[in-house]
Structures are given as C-alpha cells and as structure tokens.
Structure 1
Amino acid sequence: MFVDALGSGIYVPLTLLFIHEVTGLPLTTVGLGVTAAAVVGLAANPVAGAFIDRFDARRVLIATYVLRALGFAAYPFVDGFAALIAVAAVVAVGDRAYYPASGSYISVLAEGAARDRLYALVATTRNVAFGLGGLMSAGAVSLAGGTGFMLIALVNAASFVVAAGCLIRSGRHAPAETVPRRRGGYRRVLADRPFIGLVAAEQAFTLAHMILPVALPIYAVAILGAPASLLGLLYTLNTILVAAGQLAVRRWQRNARRTHAMALGGAVLIVACGAYAATALVPPVLPRVCGLVVATLVFTLGELMHTTPSWALTTATAPPALRGRYLAIYQQTWALAAVFAPAGFSVLLDTAPPLLWLTLATMLASAGLGMLHLSRRLPPDAVAAPQA
C-alpha cells in the first residue's frame, strides 16, 4: 500500500494537467471526460463488494492494481474523447474498488485492538507515501518538462504492478478467511437500519473531509485573497500531521467507544468550520494567513479523530460473509462526496461564504448526535473499545 500511494501521490496533485499534457486534449475535454469516468466509477463500489464476498478481498485488491496499471500505461495512447473516457473509467473503477477491497483485506489480517492499530498504520503509511509522491511529481515536471508527465504515467503504472506483486507474494503468509455465504446480498445490507444510519452519518464526515482539497482553494484565494502558495503549505502541513499523528491519536482513543470517538471528531470539525468562517473577520494578509493555518490545524485533528474509529466500527459492524458489501456501501459516501462536493461547495461559496461553514457544521452536528444514538443500536462488540 506504500508503493500504491507513492505512485498515486505522483499523479493526483496534477490530475487534469497530467491528462491534458499526456493526451494533448483540451482541458475542457479532459474535465468532461474525467467527470464522466467518475460517474462510471460510482458503480464500481457495489460490484467490488459482491466480488469480495464471492471470491476474497486480496484477489479483488490485486485486480484494482492491475486495472490501474493498464489504465495509466494506456494514457499516452489516448487520442480522442471516447478513448479518454474509456481509459479514465478503467482507472476510476480501480480507484473506487480499491477502498472496500483494502478495508476488507485489512480486516482479515487482524482483530480487535490490533485491527485498529493496523488501520492507523496503513493511514500513516499512505500519507507518508503520498507526500513523497507529491515531491517526486514536482521534481519530474520541473526537471523534465513535458517529458516529465509521460514519466509520471509510466512510473504510476509500474507502481501498481509492484504493489500487485507485493500482494501476490504476501498471500503465501496471509490468513485466509473462510465464512459461510449468506443469501440476500445488498438487500440484507440495506435492511440493516443501524448500519444505514451509520452510513448516513458518515456522509456528513466525508463531505467535511472535502474541505481541504475542494473548498479551501476557492475560499482562501478567491474570497479571502490569501496567496495561492499558501495552499501548498496547508496541504503539506495536513499531510505531515496526519502521517505523524495517526498512531498517537489512535492510542489516545483506545479506551473510548468508537461511536463516541467519531462524535468527538465531528465536534472538532465543527470548531474547524467556525475557525475558517471567523478568518474572514480578521485583517487581511498575515492575520488571515495565520487564521487559515490555525483552522487547518484544528481540521487536521478532527480528521485524525474520525478516520480510524470510522473504519474499525464499520468493519466490526459487518457480518464476515457480507463484509465486502457493507464496506462497499460505506465507501459509496466518499464517491458521492467526490462527485457532489465541487459543485455544491462552489454554489454555497458563491451565494454566501458563511453558508458553506454553517451547512457543514449543521450536518456534522446531526451526524455526531446520530453516532451517540447509534452507540445503543449497533453491535456492542463493534462499538466497544478493543482491548489493547
């Protein structure tokens, strides 16, 4: 997963520009193609969930690496809109299917407190690799120019091949989970009302996680007049703190109920929304820059407090025979946030910037109260803090 994130870190910060440079297509065409591919990718989560339960998570995870390796290797050969959609859709399907597959695979490797630690370790590892990939991306483009984008495509494709090889080899030592199959499929998942309540609460959290990549560039630069270079600083600060703080925050939360840990994370995110809104009230330039830094620090703490309990609670709630489907529905919240956040945040910021922060804070408050209510309805062994 480190190798996977390293390759993705090279590509993700330059997504649209990368595709534009490699294919030679206009940026507007690239934007439409990527959007169409993202819509196709929405279907990948439920399909991946069914495959995970039918076969096993490791095989599906390897397939996501193979799909993305093929997609990035094919990007240099794209010469039109239809080909762009086809290749971008292959990558999008691999991206979306990766998350339920990786979450399911990790759940097989450890239980209880060890599973929580492993989720935290994976989050730490991926953030470190993603940050290193971003540095490599900047170096490739600055040193090699247009050729650097072609190099990014090949390196990213190679990273997925290597990641698949690592998983294939690790399969010799990984435990195999054998569980009886259960009929009903997604009907049983959707009939689990406490779990659907958890998913509804999670949608608010995932929208809040879109603040840094989606809302902040518009809010900080276009509305508050902060220098564009500040965005790179804030993004780097967030990445470093998430990588350095994930295991420490997990240890701090080890005696808390997972539902309560998520609710407290939501409260911290509400404070972050208030801090971002208040930054508009301070004098421009240095005070506003300091305000944005402080708000981002609070936001990062809330992000850290939410991530590991959320994954661990969802995995522990799911019956082993339907875990792939459960995690697929859970991960659909991130897919929906990625589709709707750009347009929704833009409309709210254009209408009245405080409206965005008020809307997110209200959603997070509802989600936090919902988590406290769900602590009595979800399986007790899923809610309880695992024994360290």
Structure 2
Amino acid sequence: MSIASAQRQSGVRPFLVGMFVDALGSGLYYPLTLLFIHSVTGLPMTVVGLGVTAAAAVGLAANPVAGVLIDRFDARRVLMGTYVLRGLGFAAYPFVDGFAALIVVAAVVAFGDRAYYPASGGYISVLATGADRDRLYALMSTARNVAFGLGGLLSAGVVSLGGTTGFVVIASVNAASFVVATGCLVLSGRRAPVEPAPPEPGGYRRVLADRPFLGLVAAEQAFTLTRLVLPVALPVYAVTVLGAPAWLLGLLYTLNTILVAVGQLAVRRRQRAARRTHAMALGGAVLIVSCVAYAAAAAFPPGPPRVIALVAATLVFTAGELMHATPSWALAAAAAPPALRGRYLAIHQQTWAIGNVVAPAAFSALLGAAPALLWGTLTVLLALAALTLLRLSRRLPPDAVAAPGA
C-alpha cells in the first residue's frame, strides 16, 4: 500500500463518524420539519410553509456555487462550510420571530443542505479510488440511514417528553451535531492530506459541453423523480386513493430505511463485476416493476390484501433504489475530470434540487387526473433512462464505467 493510500484510509474513519453524527442530528429534525419550525418559532403554519418554500428556491443556487468552491478550495473545506452554515441556522431557529427572519435562517439551512451533497461526494472521491470508492459510498449510505432512523426514533421520544421544549432541544442537539461533524472533518483532513488538482479552464461551460455526462444527468433526473415517490407521492396515493390506513406510511418508510441501511453493502458486493451503467439500468428495470406493482395495488380488495400489495411494491422499490444509488454516485465522480469534479458533481446533484421543486406539484397533478398516469409517466422516464445508460456505457470514460480493481 502506498503512503497516499494509507493516508486516505486513515482519513475514512473520522469522515464516516462525522457523517453518522450529522445524520443522527438531522434525523431528529427532518421527520417533523414544518412542525419543528412552527413550534420553535411560534409562527403560524401557513407562514412556515411559505418560508420553507422560499428557502427551498434559494437552495437551488447552492449546488452551482458549491461546485465552484469545491474546485477552487477543495471538497473537505466546502463540506465543513455546509456544517457551519447548518449549525448556525439551527442555533438561530429559537430566536426567529418573524417571516423575514424565518426566510433568512431557513435559506441558510437549505443552502447548507443542498451544498452538502456535491461536497460529500467530492470528498469521497478524494478518500477512495476505483472499487474502493463504490464501497465507501455504500458505507456512507449505510451509516447515514442507520443514524437517520435512530434520529427519527429519538425525535419522537424527545417531543413526547418535552413538548415545545423538546423542539428547542432538537434544535440545540442538531446544531451541536454539526459542530462534532466539523471536528471529525478536521481530523480526517489531517490524516489524509490532499493537494488540490491543478486548475483547468472552462468551468461550467466545459461541463455543459460534455454531452455524455449531460446524458448521464438526464438519466439521473428520471431516477431522482422516482425515488421521491416514497416521501412525496406514496402518502397521497396510499391514503387518499387506495384508502390504506395512515399507520402504514410509517411502516413503509421504516421498512425502506432499514433495508437500505442493511442491504447497501451486500448489493454493492454483487455489483462489483458489473459495469456501473448496466447496474444502474438494471436498477431502473426493477424500479419499473415497482411502479407497475404500485399501480396494480388498486386492483386488490381493500384491507389486508391491499396493504400486502403496497408492502410488496415497496420491497421491490427498495431493491431498485439499492441497485441504483452506489453506482450512480461513483459513476458521476469517476466521469469527472479531477480539477472540475466539484462542478460536475454539482450539476449531477442538481437533479435532487429540481426534483424537490417539481415533484410535489407534478405528482399531485398526475394523481389528481388519474393515478395510473403517475405510474405510467415514471415507467416511461425510467425506460428511457435505462436505455440511455446502456448507450452511455461506450461513451463515458472506460475507467468510470467499470471500476478499476472491481
């Protein structure tokens, strides 16, 4: 093992610890986002909803800005910046007393949330190469899902015991979690020093001129929209269209979270010999099956048969999610030139920012018109994405499509 490889590996553990602490704190907050802000600030729920929407719009700019900063400074420093922004935001929430202050604080948090993803992906590409990079992405996903689930369980206990005070405790603990995560990143950087890549001209113009990569981003947008089904569309579809009990939603969410946490490394091991593009395309095929299964659930009689159908569809959906996630991250990072990796990953992760804006309105409109339209639309998008990925397997860099050492 080279000195550089040993340094990278020594930096992995504190990085993963920081990811876990970050996700544990966020898990306290995310399941209760609107209720949390309403309780901590005392503002009406309608005002809170408008403020969060405005902040999400501001967050759309976070990825492009983060990409520039990553390429100029390095991913670890930008990742530390996202922790500092979110820590300050959550520390400030208890002092918010009006709509303008809410927008400022929520925008700071939203900006940090969105910039986190290209920064974390960029730092993983520094800490690991080849097949080890896929493994580290899988490890991060596992750690975050476990921590996020634990945070969700703890949040219920804190709120039930503390009431409004419990929400203030959540804000304080979440802010503290970002401080701890920042410290872990400082330690990680000391153990795995990395010299920045020499600058390359072109900036975002070069990214937008890279047609194979833009094809990858277009395919990723279909996957992103589909993966937003579980938190956005399924609650409406299951309860209002199928008449499923509301408690089932918590069960489906928990089932998905646990299986993603437990299954990520196992799925990654089975994908080691596969091209990343092909692994993602197969994941798309499985997600198509899940869309068909969700649509078919309406044909089952109400009651236990329909509940079982929804659980089965969610199991298939989770399998497709597992097959897509790790190769997607690793392929995008490997396809990017090192000196422009921040910008490349920022464009790749912009699919989530766009999806979070588009999905609520689009999914609601499709479900309102005819539920089958939602599942049919996603099926078509996923089929096009899978075909695109198969074509891109010969156009993207060979060492990005097939991980060296896999």
Q: Normalised by the size of structure 2, how large is the TM-score?
A: 0.95
AA in 1 matched with 2:45: L
AA in 2 matched with 1:116: D
What is aligned with 2:7? none
Instruction: Confirm whether residue 125 of structure 1 aligns to residue 146 of structure 2.
Output: no
What is aligned with 1:316? 334
**1:1-388 equivalent positions in 2, closer than 5 A:** 1-388=19-406
- The structure 1 segments of at least 4 consecutive aligned residues displaced by more than 3 Å after TM superposition are none
Indicate the SS of the match to 1:183: coil
In the TM superposition, what is the alpha-carbon distance from 1:179 to its structure 2 partner? Answer: 1.4
CA distance in 2 between partners of 1:223 and 1:18 (Å): 28
AA in 1 matched with 2:258: I
- Per mean C-alpha deviation after superposition, the further-off stretch among 172-181 and 139-148 is 172-181
Deviations 1:72-101 (A, max 9, x none): 000011111111000000000000000000
Indicate the SS of the match to 1:284: coil
In the TM superposition, what is the alpha-carbon distance from 1:147 to its structure 2 partner? Answer: 1.0
CA distance in 2 between partners of 1:268 and 1:244 (Å): 19
Indicate the SS of the match to 2:190: coil
Deviations 1:206-228 (A, max 9, x none): 00000100001000011111110
Deviations 1:174-212 (A, max 9, x none): 130431100110000000000000000000000000010
AA in 1 matched with 2:245: P
AA in 2 matched with 1:370: T
In the TM superposition, what is the alpha-carbon distance from 1:171 to its structure 2 partner? Answer: 1.4
CA distance in 1 between partners of 2:94 and 2:357 (Å): 26
AA in 2 matched with 1:180: P
Is this contact kept in 1: 2:291–2:378, CA < 8 A?
A: yes
What is aligned with 2:10? none
Q: What value does the CA root-mean-square deviation take over the aligned residues?
A: 0.7
Deviations 1:89-138 (A, max 9, x none): 00000000000000000100011111110000000000000000000101
CA distance in 2 between partners of 1:121 and 1:312 (Å): 13
CA distance in 2 between partners of 1:351 and 1:22 (Å): 37
Q: Aligned pairs, how many? A: 388
Deviations 1:336-372 (A, max 9, x none): 0011101110010011001000000100000000000
Indicate the SS of the match to 2:124: helix
- Per mean C-alpha deviation after superposition, the further-off stretch among 287-296 and 167-176 is 167-176
CA distance in 1 between partners of 2:403 and 2:350 (Å): 26
**Unpaired runs of at least 5, structure 1:** none
CA distance in 1 between partners of 2:236 and 2:225 (Å): 16
AA in 2 matched with 1:118: L
CA distance in 2 between partners of 1:244 and 1:199 (Å): 27
Is this contact kept in 1: 2:73–2:196, CA < 8 A?
A: no
CA distance in 2 between partners of 1:142 and 1:275 (Å): 36
- Taking every aligned residue pair, what percent have the same amino acid on both sides? 79
Is this contact kept in 2: 1:19–1:30, CA < 8 A?
A: yes
CA distance in 2 between partners of 1:340 and 1:258 (Å): 27
What is aligned with 2:9? none
In the TM superposition, what is the alpha-carbon distance from 1:385 to its structure 2 partner? Answer: 3.9
AA in 1 matched with 2:229: I
AA in 2 matched with 1:372: L
Is this contact kept in 2: 1:262–1:368, CA < 8 A?
A: yes
CA distance in 1 between partners of 2:60 and 2:195 (Å): 27
**Unpaired runs of at least 5, structure 2:** 1-18
In the TM superposition, what is the alpha-carbon distance from 1:311 to its structure 2 partner? Answer: 0.4
Indicate the SS of the match to 1:386: coil
